[in-house]
Structure 1
């Protein structure tokens, strides 16, 4: 049978954080990195870590702004400053701001630490530069928390924020633990507080895997102006006033864009598509909205519309000078069209333009996988993980490539790493099940498929593979039940019909087996194995001529299919064509020997001697 793959007291006093003049000169990325590193701290406790930024000093008391969820639980926290000094945090000093995911905390030190410069987040519009800094959590992939600084750009700045105040969207690669860290503009000014990473696994599992998994760049932050407004209301005064801005009377394109992203990550693709279309209606040149619309159409199963949307995004990115984005988008299009060589060419150019484009490496790695270049695929997935060590899908995809290269234990190790990062990652359970099965651990395989299906009950190949494992363990009725479930999800799942046919044959239901082979062949008229197995069923029912016709059809498609020669040989012999029968059996034996199937070769040679 086949096996199918497929993140206080009121602070009243003197502040030394100031709004920078709007005509401040832009800094290069290395200069912004130095600014960010000097003001970013780690907030550590026994359950993990987060990040924060120093926004005020009064005497020896420093105030740090962070995301509320970083200090949500009452526990023992420490502030770790840039040079590695640890300071205790008195939880009674924590001030949580209402209705937004923000909090301020304090620590005491006689050391001199810089204070963040506050910018005007209203000026950070789509396409402007954004930097994010913070300390990723220790995980299966990261052995120690090391300061991280990434660049990207603003893709939306909504006037109507999501729940908890999130309104900034940016494309930076971010990791768990960076929550509470600063989002900075190209002048080194803080324009937001990072809070949510693009961690949802956006994939639609199919009969073959891996499927390209594209991070959407939907990272969320709370605009610094939101904090400034609330700080005045709650007595958390840092001496900086929020700029006066007019209240939007009509929705902005960015408002629909951020709502679409939120719905997309919740799996509401229909709602996401509607919102992205609204964003495009307001701003017909919104390249990012077209890009995300394409991804939503892809995940809703409409590849044709996905290609159209992504093509428009590619054109707009090119006009807007975003060459790397244009090439990556082109790579996705080529992938969706199964032009894997074209996907490799486009993603390679995207990587040349932006060597830190993890998405482009992921696209190229997946395309290489489908072209049979498993080592090249592994190399690309390694690059993805170097850029983002917590990208669980890259571990699982690398594990699948290792599986195909025969390294089943290495595959399991990779899937385990993916599951440590994301215990709800159905794809990793599914692929780990493949490796367990091949290692002879059928019960372990079934357990993994059960876990995958508990998370996502619509993975048709998982039902088929679980059915195969049940069949091997002697549970033929359980196997048929699983194949039925797969076909309920996907009525065109050829291998489910074929597998069910095999089990029906083993249960003595030859007519039922033939009916299933017929259904498989109706969908795929070139399914060699189905012709050959249907021939066996016809033979068992006494239809020798029908059997020979099926074996001939199998051999027309694959002239080296040993099983078809063996079946035809037996049938010819039974029809008194002994010479023709023995010739077919000898041909089958020779092919089995060439293919390394020693057992089948020896069995046939012994049979020939007896005839």
Structure 2
């Protein structure tokens, strides 16, 4: 997944819980995870059919966690349990959690086994509340495939949040901070994202794409364009705390067990999507290319998109995705050419303008990048991500801080709880010397996204500018708790400890930095001056 490192220049409870610490020696095989998924997942029939997860039971009452948009409109809904039993949903009991696209539903069941005539409760999910590492964590998405009217489970990998922020097709908001390569379909919203131990680590809610009318078949065809997104359990638990609700949850805080060879092999069948037949349409080949792109098979993806374009030369989604693949392959010039072809065919396709701007920024062509961002917000003024990236460009490359603040404010007008924009605002204010205002903005960013190491680092640097070294040190320590493998952060902490005269602690911090970057001459030189170098 090393190709997913896109556009770095513009990316800057009260609930009752039974907490345990898993000591599983070996990850489950995929079929065992599927068995768990089948037993804890429900189907939600209504205006917006979707899925949900059984997360708690109190007597005969069950709690179902789902995406709020699945039950956003008051209507007649039925919860279809794993055994096929149907339970009408009392809409007055729906609890929409604050600040996130999540809702808790309730239903009552006195389930009795037909064969044994005894009470057999439904299984409830165990929640996994831990830091999920990008690129090396396999996860499973499960839910109801509405088009094929059957359940579907797919495997994929977690991708880095900073990368996802740059390329997700729908503006990130309402708690969407978990991004993954799994193929997902309509009807899977609200369904579980499970780790390799079968624990619930998130609720699926979004999959990037467009619906296009196909004149040949007379049908709307879905074109997949990006990745899938969900809300991590950590965000759901914080929302529960704010809501005052207290379902009895089973929570584990440990990372999953390492994958055995057997577990690894069992995942493979769930990673694949069938290759289209030779007579497939341009849409089919484009969707196949998207799957290959998601799974890091970039050369194969490029061939699939070229096949799509060969069938329909003006099929702009394939040209757009081709640009993303070419960038992943390191051919930046060709990628820009594909984005240019995309907007030649469809001038109002703002995703291409947005990605074109981000890539041009990474290439150092900041003037052209700004033109692309300006075109993107002209077409789609309600995308807070573009306003955020535009603000970063103005801050980092043009030092036009007042204009940058205006861009961040536009992002916050669209989404007041968009933490990256608060962080960017704090950065711009600090560059202007308005440290008190900067600190308030950074505090708000951290309140909204407590897991952001970058915001803690910026907070620490502002404390340094305010000549508050002890508070700066505390901020850096919190950042290191979130990002312990950041060599530069260890070095920053070490230098601060030097300034504070805490030589022994400084040597320890700089030694950690050197362990992570053994060939860094500046760290080695500073250690030598302190008498801590080898």
Question: Normalized per residue, which structure has more strand?
Answer: 2
If the length of structure 1 is used for normalisation, what is the TM-score?
Answer: 0.44
The structure with the largest helix share of the pair is 1
The structure whose Rg is larger is 1
Structure number with greater CO (CA < 8 Å, separation at least 6) is 2
Q: TM-score, normalised by structure 2?
A: 0.49
